[in-house]
Amino acid sequence: MTPDETPLSPTPRTVVRRGKKRARRSREDLYAVLDAGFVCHLGVIVDGTPMVIPTLYGRLGETLYMHGSTGARSLREAVDGEVCVTVTHVDGVVLARSAFHHSINYRSAMIYGTARIVEDRDEKLEGLRVLMEQLAPGRWDAVRRPTVKELAKTAVLAVSLAEASVKIRQGPPGEEEEDYALPIWAGVLPLHTRWRAPVPDPLLSPGIEVPGHVAERAHTTAFESPALTE
Amino acid sequence: MTPDETPLSPTPRTVVRRGKKRARRSREDLYAVLDAGFVCHLGVIVDGTPMVIPTLYGRLGETLYMHGSTGARSLREAVDGEVCVTVTHVDGVVLARSAFHHSINYRSAMIYGTARIVEDRDEKLEGLRVLMEQLAPGRWDAVRRPTVKELAKTAVLAVSLAEASVKIRQGPPGEEEEDYALPIWAGVLPLHTRWRAPVPDPLLSPGIEVPGHVAERAHTTAFESPALTE
């Protein structure tokens, strides 16, 4: 079995039932979707009701790291509990001839797992490094590292990528056969996200130039997944 | 009490405890965040575990409408159950001098409520219209409306906006006082999303021009919230 053939979804809850043609089964596609972003939506159960929290993440191999304040109840509730982490990139609006077939083009990954709190100091630092490098490549080596006190205030959660599903929709609308003859314009209105020019902190000391790792990113496209399989 | 002073958060779970200075309390801010987008993350509980599903939504007054296939288990599970709906716009990366104070600029809304399935035909059509107009303004009047069969295949969920919280972070990093003197560049790398030129369906009949409601949106900024209060 090549890596591309390794099923992503060995469990009933990660078998894509709706929109099967949008399901992807390669781990490369999972990585491509996750690596293209840095904000996930973390689902936990608090007092019997679901809570969906936008938070930062980073991927290292088969592990997703998230972080938050040790004071945040949502993160405390997540520890050792089942969580669902979803990452979604919106690529455009699909304008069909029929209301029914309107959709969006998107890439999304859904991960189920148990959230483990990272206690080991080295893994905690590594989790934070991975998260920050995904947020801002090249940044970790340029900044002041966390103090013991700051580390104590930060909770790092780890979730395995073993149980995941990926759905991707790209391309023109799919219509009912008889609707193609309607005199209605149809197509896609794509969305495109770019990094703009860096805005210096008004309190920046004079004479500090924009570093390469920031300057190089400006004006490039964000949230791309060039590694997607066909 | 002016509308701006109406608290968004009458319940313990929508009182923002972490990052209080990022909390907003006006309904106008809630509307501004919701109206700027069309994809939410819907949290439901399925078999005792959380599930976070990206899905389309539209807002009409104090109601959020979502839709999906009547065959989707996640939607069936959501009906009459507690849900959490989160909408997040990412505006940029906040690059601090210290690793600890890195963050993102964002606008996010979190809604708690009971998901009601819309049974009334008129409300169902109205919910779909609202959702489609949020996805593609001007579209509803240009396309073939849903048939009875299509309506039967579509589930429309309604959630009240009564219980919600809004968090917004904008601006430069906030650092430890002593870190401002460090010789490290700090600031914000903003993200900017635009609609691109429309891509016609390859199966489009000849002679059909791009309609105004599509052409006018191309090259404009997406996901903006100009109505936010200071």
B145 contacts in A (CB within 8 Å)?
Answer: 99
Out of A17, A95, A108, name the one closest to residue B136 (CB).
A95
Which residue does chain A place closest to B149, by CA atoms? A100
How far B207 CA lies from chain A's nearest CA (Å)? 9
CA distance B109 to chain A (A): 10
d(CA B28, CA A104): 27
**A172·B97 Cβ contact <8 A:** no
The predicted structure's pLDDT at residue B6: 43
Residue A70: pLDDT band with limits 50, 70, 90: confident
Give pLDDT tens digits for B162-195.
Answer: 999 999 999 999 999 999 999 999 999 999 999 9
pLDDT in tens, B148-157: 999 999 999 9
**Amino acid at site B221:** T
CA-to-CA separations, B186 to A133, A140, A162, A202, in angstroms, rounded:
16, 13, 37, 9
**Whole-number pLDDT of residue A219:** 94
Would you place residue A16 in the very low, low, confident or very high pLDDT band (cuts 50, 70, 90)?
low
DSSP B217: T
Residues 6+ away with beta carbon under 8 Å from A87 = A33, A34, A37, A39, A40, A41, A57, A108, A109
Confidence label for B43 from pLDDT (cuts 50, 70 and 90): very high
Q: Above 90 in pLDDT, residue A68?
A: no
For domain B3-92+104-171, give the fold: Pnp Oxidase; Chain A (2.30.110)
Considering only A44-48, A200-204, B103-107, B131-135, which range has the smallest mean pLDDT?
A44-48
> Between chains, do A143 and B99 touch, taking CB under 8 Å as contact?
yes
Å between A175 CA and nearest CA of chain B: 10
Question: Which of B66, B157, B182, B185 best tests the A interface by mutation, with the highest count of A CBs <10 A?
Answer: B185
What pLDDT sits at residue B5?
Answer: 36
- Of all helices (H) and strands (E), which one includes residue B215? helix B212-215
Residue A9, pLDDT score: 53
Select the residue from B87, B89, B94, B189 to test the A interface by mutation, using most A Cβ atoms within 10 A.
B189
User: Exposed (0-12), middle (13-18) or buried (19+): which is B149, by Cβ within 10 Å?
Assistant: exposed
Question: How far B14 CA sits from the closest chain A CA (Å)?
Answer: 11
Band (pLDDT 50/70/90 cuts) for residue A19 is low
Instruction: Identify the residue among A185, A199, A203 best suited for mutation to test binding to B, counting B beta carbons within 10 A and taking the highest.
Output: A185
Instruction: Give residue-wise pLDDT tens across range B219-229.
Output: 999 999 987 87
Chain A residues touching B186 at Cβ < 8 A:
200-201, 203-204
d(C-alpha B11, C-alpha B87), whole Å: 19
Q: Which residue of B has its CA nearest to A45?
A: B50
User: What's the mean pLDDT in A21-38?
Assistant: 90
Rounded Cα distance, B158 and B38, in Å: 15
Residue of B nearest to A18 (CA): B72
Give the CATH fold of the A3-215 domain: Pnp Oxidase; Chain A (2.30.110)
Yes or no, beta carbons of A18 and B51 under 8 Å apart: no
Q: What tokens does A7 get?
A: 């099923």
Cβ–Cβ below 8 Å for B52 and A42:
yes
Task: Report which of A166, A93, A152 is spatially closest to residue A117, judged by C-alpha positions.
Answer: A152
Tell the residue number behind the tokens 């966390």, with chain if given: A146
Please list every residue in chain A whose beta carbon sits closer than 8 Å to the beta carbon of residue B142.
184-185
- Interface confidence, given as ipTM, is 0.92
Q: Taking 80 as the threshold, does the pLDDT of residue B146 lie above it?
A: yes
Domain extent listing, chain A: 3-215
Q: What is the DSSP letter of B221?
A: B
Query: What DSSP element (H or E) covers B126?
Result: helix B121-135
What is residue A73's predicted lDDT score, i.e. its pLDDT?
A: 75
B78 min Cα distance to partner chain A (Å) = 10
Non-local CB neighbours of B44 within 8 Å, separated by 6+ positions: A50, B50, B51, B53, B74, B77, B78, B81, B83, B115
Lowest mean pLDDT among A44-53, B122-131, B135-144: A44-53
Please choose, from the candidates A94, A58, A31, the residue with its C-alpha nearest in 3D space to the C-alpha of residue B39. A94
A208 contact residues in B (CB cutoff 8 A):
183-185
SS (H, E, C) A151-167: HHHEEEEEEECCEEEEE
How far is residue A213 CA from its own chain's centroid?
Answer: 21
Radius of gyration of chain A (CA): 20
Could you please report the per-residue DSSP string of A155-203?
A: EEEEEESSEEEEEEE-SS----GGGGGSS---EEEEEEEEE---EE-TT
Mean pLDDT of all residues belonging to chain A: 90
Question: According to the model, what pLDDT value does residue A3 have?
Answer: 34
Q: What is the pLDDT of residues A125-153, one digit of tens each?
A: 999 999 999 999 999 999 999 999 999 99
Scanning every residue of chain A, which has its alpha carbon at the shortest distance from the alpha carbon of B153? Answer: A100
